[in-house]
Amino acid sequence: MKTFRLPDLGEGLQEAELVEWRVKPGDEVELDQPLLSVETAKAVVEIPSPRAGKIERLFGARGDIVRVGAPLVAFEGERDEDAGTVVGVVETSASVMRDVTIGRAGAPARVIPAVRALARKLNVDLGMVTPSGPDGLITAEDVERVAKILSEVEPAEPLRGFRRAMARNMSFAQAEVAAATIMDDVMIDAWEPGADVTIRLIRALVKGCRAEPVLNSWFESATLSLRRLHKIDLGIAVDTPDGLFVPVLRDVGARDAADLREGLNRMRADVAARRIPPEELRGATITLSNFGTIGGRYAAPVVLPPTVAILGAGRIRRDVVVRNGEIGIGAVLPLSLTFDHRVVSGGEAGRFLAVVMADLACA
Amino acid sequence: MAELTLVEAVNAALACEMARDESVLLLGEDIGVNGGVFRATNGLQARFGRERVIDTPLAEGGIAGVAVGMAAMGLKPIVEIQFTGFIYPTLDQMINHASRLRNRTRGRLTCPMVLRAPYGAGIHAPEHHSESPEALFAHTPGLRVVIPSTPARAYGLLLAAMRDPDPVVFFEPTRLYRLFKQDVIDNGEALPLDACFLSREGGDVTIVAWGAMVREAELAAEALEDEGVDAEIIDVAAIKPFDVETILRSVEKTGRCVIVQEAPRTNGFGAEVAAEIAERALYSLQAPVRRVAAYDVVVPLYRLERQYIPSVARIVDAVRSVMEGS
Amino acid sequence: MGLHTSIDAQIDLVRYLSPEGAPLVSPLPVGDETLATFYEAMTRARVFDGKAIALQRTGQLGTFASALGQEAVGVGVAAAMERRDVLVPSYRDHGAQFLRGMSMTECLLYWGGDERGSDFQGPRLDFPNCVPVATQIPHSVGAAYAFKLRKEDRVAVTFIGDGGTANGAFYEALNMAGVWNAPVVIVINNNGWAISTPRALESAAQTLAQKGVAAGVECRQADGNDVVAMHDVARRAIAKARAGEGPTLVEALTYRLGDHTTADDATRYRDPDAVRKEWTREPLTRLRAYLLAKGLWSKEKEAALLKRCAEEVENAVAAYLATPSPRCDAMFDHLYESLPRALQEQRECARRFSKEENGHG
């Protein structure tokens, strides 16, 4: 405080006579140091200092009658802590508010509440109902029609576990990502017999990332920022009877072929045994889908945010090829690169794929 | 029984209650010798004396404040504010004191006063004489707000307001003051302050209105009849607290609701009605609840008055929309 | 009353005790026995005041408006009222309210955030504290009118601060009091400050009392720290009103020795030296000096009085602290005479979400 007043003397006493000052202006005092002595009806009392500080001014002289609440001593320095109000208490804190960007929601179904309640009652998902009302309005008749149809087919089972997660993730990815795809074929006749296809793909992909690092990054759409990543943690799409898993093989750019093969095998075993921990399914920086082991040539696989690229490899086939202007038969590996065009340009994607293909074409 | 205009009905109610209850007194500007600028208090000073019918100084805030003091000491002051445009200075006393005197003294002191004023547009008046500020008062806990739509209802509701132990703001639609007459039985019988009135029974759509808009709603209903739409009209009358049950039951029956309000649209009392319907009768609705209200503009001077006040055409248009489900 | 083309306004300043407590007339218009009771009443008010501040500082009472230094105004005026009269206070008038029969516990409950503090068990018809400045003056005039209409010989007495006299409600009500010849006494507690605004910035009028001239109301000024003057002036004004001779505006010149409220810090805008000087003119010292000089008081009596007051205050504080918080649904009580249907649902909601809280926060 800046101004110290004569405090409550107790026992209802309202005033005292100033006997003697123990300090003078300019003095530095400590907490509890006696400032003055006063005489009440009962006794002579020392008044201690309520704080440490420098005395600026004294009020009153020896012999004065001082009343409880009257000013006694002014300390140098800041004013009394400003309550900043004359009524109540205004709470203060040092917390700072940060702005939050809000995303956009999709368009809701047009349906009046009574019809919505009907749909709920008949267990009809409004998303399945084709509206027949004006301006896309779903009518009660529409709901009843769909209810009848659904009653004649198998009951819907809610998706569970990984299938449910896949449904969610893919919906989200589809809504978010501006996907574009480049496809090409690469001739792999130079490969040694029994070459490890996955390891070759990984090696090539690493080279691609070195050439065009933007494909190994995370995009944060809410703030439109790009996080470039140095490590390549590769998500590998694995198909199991329980559905699609994408476990992550860590730091593939820094590991040799043997280490990678061992890691892959361990990963597949863990997935098959359903003992892969959740943290191993997170944090991919780029994804590889070797769907060719099942079948198919080209694809436009789904880019999973926050990654911006997924490389798909189709089934290796023997096909008619042109070598040095001559028709022949060769081993062809089809490649599909889907990238998030919000972040990756066609040029970057093309160059990435070219490097991948160049590496795969080698021995 | 006599055929009275709305302002004559007000006069009759005031006279009735002043004769019946000595503690009732009137105060306001020009209400004594002049009988009030609309003659609502005509003849009352001659009959009851200058001490009970007071020509006050020109000071709306002060008038409302002395009324609070009188009411707290057991009188029943009936204050006339000359026009709703001049009612705003009374907000201080009505909101800070009248509405809460009972509550903040735990019932030890109460405030049984009435504040009455001519209300609404439509009389080609100069500026500030056409306001509809009922929402300001209705938003205040502890006040009652009442708006009659006919002479008979004005008579019965004003009696009820004067007999109510709590403060009542009583708005009298100015353009209905002498627009038509109605049989009014001057028998001192009050109407209830907690019930809506059914002005017209119908099955296709519920039109909720109050004050001068009730009549516009009736005209709209006649026009709609020709289109095969049978409208039910509810005159809310007691805006605060209001009888939501009657409105909900009607909406449950018809499934469609149009609210007609002379006050500006946004944050008006109609929004309250719409919110209650959405909360408690949602599944009965076949169409959105529509409000037909004055635009959210400053009340224009009288040349644009007719374009400002919600018209029968706008009401009919809104009803047609909801009949189509939109 | 006819029309006048000029007026000659003369307002006397009434004082009977010098700041040192010396009588300026003999005999004083108030007897010594009575003066001793005034001294006790002022001391009670001051001891309570100090305790209330201490309670606020320790978080046991909400914001409190101290009347330190203004005890003579409240006590002098209230002592001149009859039981059947009605007090219409501002929010710094507990000195007067205690004399009217409001209990210390009720006062604490009010500032402690409980409406029951305004449900006075003693003065059933006195108005509660009024926070919106000056809006109590119309109430007092309306109450006075009610007495007059019903031909009762009762008077309404009201207080207002110097800042309040700048407000429209004050002027309007004063004007009506004049027009109606209402039996009301309006006392201006001119303590020099409206929060941080000094009296000189509230009006260019030389006195605040002269505002009565504009309303045709008799104006008087008194030394607000001289309880003899306050009581005498109030007594005359109340008698005049009771006799049907109309209202009086009384300006009491005093000083706000404390802060505006416990949340205010007056050192932001007042020189402590100036405050210290005002302490030399304060009302309790003045009257005590007079009583001591006449042999009617002593150190022993003082000690005994302070002890009595301290005990009374402690008991009141104990009763206040022991009062449990109202039930949460109490906020629905007394909204209207009976709770409308629409609100019963809301009350159920409040009940469902309420937690029991005891004590004070």
Which CATH architecture group holds A162-360? 2-Layer Sandwich (3.30)
Quick check: C341 and B96 CB within 8 A? Answer: no
Return the C-alpha torsion angle C81, C85, C86, C92, nearest 10.
0
With CB atoms and an 8 Å threshold, state whether C43 touches A14.
yes
- Residue B282: exposed, middle, or buried by beta-carbon count in 10 A (0-12, 13-18, 19+)? middle
Rg (CA), chain B: 19
Contact between A315 and A192 (Cβ < 8 Å): no
Beta strands B53-55; B290-294: pairing state: unpaired
Give residue-wise pLDDT tens across range A176-193.
899 999 999 999 999 998
Assess A131–B contact: CB distance below 8 Å, yes or no: no
A2-75 carries CATH number 3.40.50.2300: no
Question: Per residue in A52-109, pLDDT tens?
Answer: 899 988 988 898 888 777 888 888 876 556 777 888 888 777 887 777 666 555 567 7
Q: What are phi and psi of C237, to 5 degrees?
A: -65, -40
Residue A31 has pLDDT above 70, yes or no: yes
Q: How close A113 comes to chain B (CA, Å)?
A: 6
* Separation between Cα atoms, residue C33 and residue C142, nearest integer Å: 36
Predicted confidence at residue C358, as pLDDT, reads 39
Nearest CA in chain A to B289: A112
What is the reported pLDDT for B325? 82
Query: Contact at 8 Å (CB) between C72 and C283?
Result: yes
Would you call A44 an interface residue with chain B, using a CB distance cutoff of 8 Å?
Answer: no
Chain B partners within 8 Å of C84 (Cβ): none
Q: Please name the residue of chain C whose CA is at the shortest distance from the CA of residue A89.
A: C263
Tell me: pLDDT of C58 over 80: yes
Residues with Cβ within 8 Å of A100's Cβ and at least 6 positions away in sequence, in order, are none
Closest CA to C145 of B79, A285, B131: B79
Cβ atoms C61, C104 nearer than 8 A: no
8 Å CB contact of B286 and A134? no
Radius of gyration of chain C (CA): 21
Note if B139 is an active site residue: no
Give the contacts of A87 (CB within 8 A, at least 6 positions apart). Answer: C63, C261, C263
Q: Please report residues of A whose CB lies closer than 8 A to that of C313.
A: 12
Please name the helix (run of DSSP H) or strand (run of DSSP E) that holds residue A141, with its range, or none.
Answer: helix A140-151
Q: Flag whether residue B105 sits within 8 Å of chain C, measured between CB atoms.
A: yes
Contact B285 A133 (CB under 8 A): no
pLDDT per residue as tens digits for the range A98-136: 776 665 555 677 888 889 889 999 989 888 898 888 888
B266-269, long-range: CB < 8 A, 24+ apart: B266/B296, B267/B135, B268/B134, B268/B135, B268/B293, B269/B134, B269/B135, B269/B138, B269/B210, B269/B236, B269/B239
Q: Taking CB atoms and an 8 Å cut-off, how many pairs form between chains B and C?
A: 140
CA angle (C94, C96, C100) in 5-degree steps = 105
Over the stretch C155-207, which tens digit does the pLDDT of each residue have? Answer: 999 999 999 999 999 999 999 999 999 999 999 999 999 999 999 999 999 99
Flag whether residue A121 sits within 8 Å of chain B, measured between CB atoms: no
Residue count of chain A, please give it: 363
Alpha-carbon distance of C129 to C146, in angstroms, equals: 20
Estimate the crossing angle of helix C283-293 against helix C32-57, to 10 degrees: 140
Residue type, B11: N
Q: Given CB atoms, is C266 within the 8 Å cutoff of chain A?
A: no
Given an 8 Å threshold on Cβ–Cβ distance, is C115 in contact with B25?
Answer: no
Residue C95: the pLDDT is 98
Contacts of C360 in chain A (CB under 8 A): none
Partner chains of A (3+ C-beta pairs under 8 Å): B, C
Q: Which residues of B touch C101 (CB under 8 A)?
A: none
Per-residue pLDDT band for C357 (boundaries 50, 70, 90) equals very low
Inter-chain contact C309–A12, Cβ cutoff 8 Å? yes
Mean pLDDT of C298-305: 94
Best residue in A8, A17, A55, A67 to probe C by mutation, most C CBs within 10 Å? A67
Is the distance from CB of C42 to CB of C75 less than 8 angstroms?
yes
Active site residues of C: 256, 260, 269
Give the residue among A336, A340, A305, A335 at the shortest CA–CA distance from A215: A340
Neighbours of A81 (CB within 10 A): 9
A114 and B CB contact within 8 Å? yes
Q: Domain extents for chain A? A: 2-75, 104-151, 162-360
What is the pLDDT, as a whole number, of residue A12?
A: 67
- The H or E element that residue B11 is part of is helix B6-20
Phi, then psi, of A179 in degrees rounded to 5? -80, 140
Say if C142 is an interface residue toward chain B (CB within 8 Å): yes
Q: Do C341 and B64 touch (CB under 8 A)?
A: no
Q: Nearest CA of chain A to the CA of C235: how many Å? A: 29
Amino acid symbol at A257: A
CA distances from B150 to B147, B180, B212, C95, C252 (A): 10, 9, 9, 53, 54
Inter-residue contact A314 to A292 (CB < 8 Å): yes
For residue C338, what pLDDT is reported? 94
Q: Which residues of B touch C172 (CB under 8 A)?
A: 57, 59, 61-62, 65
Under 8 Å CB-to-CB from A304, ≥6 apart: which residues?
A: A169, A173, A235, A246, A284, A287, A310
Question: pLDDT per residue over A227-284, tens digit each?
Answer: 999 999 999 998 888 778 889 999 999 999 999 999 999 998 988 888 888 788 889 9
Burial C156-169 (b: 16+ CB within 10 A, else e): bbbbbbbbbbbbeb
In whole angstroms, what is the distance from residue A291 CA to residue A237 CA? 8
Place of tokens 């002005």: B199
Cross-chain residue pair A67–C63, CB shorter than 8 Å = no
pLDDT attached to residue A90: 81
> Is C46's Cβ below 8 Å from some Cβ in A?
yes
B123 residue type, one letter? I
User: Token pair for residue A345?
Assistant: 């340009």
- The tokens for C213 are 């001239």
The minimum CA-CA distance between A123 and chain B, rounded to whole Å, is 17
Q: Please state whether beta strands A234-236 and A286-289 pair in parallel, antiparallel, or not at all (unpaired).
A: parallel
- Cα–Cα dist A347/A344, whole Å: 8
Q: Are C166 and B92 in contact (CB under 8 A)?
A: no
- CB neighbourhood size of A316 (10 A): 16
Considering only the top CATH level, what class is A104-151?
few secondary structures
Q: Does B73 touch chain C (CB under 8 A)?
A: yes
The closest CB to that of C132, out of B64, B75, B92, belongs to B92
Residues of chain B with pLDDT below 70 are none
Any chain B CB within 8 A of the CB of C355?
no
What pLDDT, on the 0 to 100 scale, is given for residue C360? 37
Distance in angstroms (rounded) separating the CA atoms of residues C326 and C312: 24
Q: Which candidate in B282, B290, B323 is best for mutational testing of the A interface (most A CBs within 10 A)?
A: B282
Mean pLDDT for chain C overall: 94
A8 touches chain C (CB under 8 A): yes
Round to whole Å and give the CA distance between C160 and A225. 63
Confidence class of residue C96 from pLDDT cuts 50, 70 and 90?
Answer: very high
CA distance B32 to B14: 13
For the segment A147-171, what is each residue's pLDDT rounded down to a tens digit?
Answer: 998 888 877 788 877 788 788 888 8
Determine the pLDDT at residue B229.
97
The DSSP annotation for C33-80 comes to HHHHHHHHHHHHHHHHHHHHHHHHHTTSS------TT-HHHHHHHHTT
As for the ipTM of the complex, it is 0.91
Say which residue, C309 or C10, is predicted with more confidence: C309
pTM: 0.75
